[in-house]
């Protein structure tokens, strides 16, 4: 039987292993359905005139129990016969259609498809640990934290989700940031292994580039930190290891709030110990 997939079962996505024994037929388009993102997985719902990009496979019926279990078939999704456009031909196939209600604000426009085609995890480790601070980089405006006017991203859509992450380099504070009381700001020492506490935001690649541009010349070195759920994790830091410089209390306070928000189980003593180590770390 033919199966149309549009989310984590697609090539280079984290559940594609379920399709290991399936035959790839080609890229295809589902008509009269709309695509929505539900944080870490997508949904399709009937809608006249809407379209969804995906992939078409020939699957053995012996694969269906595992696929149905993955999709929570019958409770959350229903395997449904649909019409798929494959080149100039319309073919019949099955697709997993979402059964529950969706928030219209989570709809993914056709020109932004396929799902997660251009998303990355932006990993941060300084003041952007605090969501309220980070949102100025996305939406723009005058920050109540550093009293700086931010232009925001060209696409000011909210990030899809966020989660904690650890970065395998030592955190340190350096440079002199006028907007933070002429104190040091956070960087990563890529020559010194460590465990920096970070937070990942799921944004488009274009948003990531706009965020990095707003950070300025001090954060021009991009670091590939691997993948999570099939999507790249990227952060940035200085292109060289600069001398340590004491951060201003206002900057540290934003990081403290960000750590509490991202790691709610951390106690104050652990937060202070973590920051103290970063302030006092030696250049190697």
Q: Annotated catalytic sites, by residue?
A: 71
| Cβ atoms 190, 172 nearer than 8 A | no
Bridge partners (DSSP) of residue 199 are: 124, 164
135 — phi, psi (to 5°)? -60, -20
Residue 237, CA atoms < 13 Å, CB-side half-sphere: 23
Residue with tokens 């149309």: 4
Euclidean distance between CA atoms 209 and 178, whole angstroms:
23
Q: Is 5 exposed, middle or buried (0-12, 13-18, 19+ CB in 10 A)?
A: buried
Angle between helices 249-262 and 131-139 (to 10 degrees): 100
Cis peptide before 114 (omega within 30 of 0): yes
Closest CA to 256 of 245, 267, 246: 267
């Amino acid at each position: 039987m033919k199966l149309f997939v549009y989310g984590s079962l697609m090539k280079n996505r984290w559940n594609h292993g379920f399709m290991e024994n399936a035959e790839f037929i080609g890229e295809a388009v589902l008509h009269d359905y709309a695509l929505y993102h539900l944080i870490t997985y997508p949904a399709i719902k009937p809608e006249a005139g809407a379209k969804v990009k995906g992939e078409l496979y020939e699957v053995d019926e012996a694969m269906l129990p595992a696929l149905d279990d993955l999709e929570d078939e019958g409770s959350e999704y229903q395997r449904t016969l649909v019409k798929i456009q494959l080149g100039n031909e319309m073919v019949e196939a099955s697709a997993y259609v979402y059964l529950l209600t969706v928030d219209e604000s989570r709809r993914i426009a056709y020109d932004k498809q396929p799902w997660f085609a251009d998303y990355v995890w932006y990993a941060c480790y300084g003041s952007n640990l605090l969501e309220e601070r980070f949102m100025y980089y996305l939406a723009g405006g005058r920050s109540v934290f550093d009293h700086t006017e931010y232009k925001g991203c060209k696409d000011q859509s909210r990030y899809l989700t966020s989660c904690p992450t650890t970065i395998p380099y030592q955190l340190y504070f350096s440079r002199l940031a006028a907007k933070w009381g002429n104190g040091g700001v956070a960087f990563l020492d890529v020559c010194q292994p460590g465990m920096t506490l970070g937070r990942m935001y799921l944004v488009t690649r274009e948003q990531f580039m706009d965020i990095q541009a707003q950070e300025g010349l001090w954060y021009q070195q991009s670091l590939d930190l691997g993948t999570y759920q099939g999507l790249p994790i990227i952060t940035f830091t200085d292109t060289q290891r600069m001398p340590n410089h004491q951060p201003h209390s206002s900057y540290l306070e934003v990081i403290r709030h960000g750590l509490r928000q991202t790691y709610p189980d951390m106690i104050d003593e652990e937060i202070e110990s973590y920051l103290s180590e970063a302030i006092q770390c030696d250049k190697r």
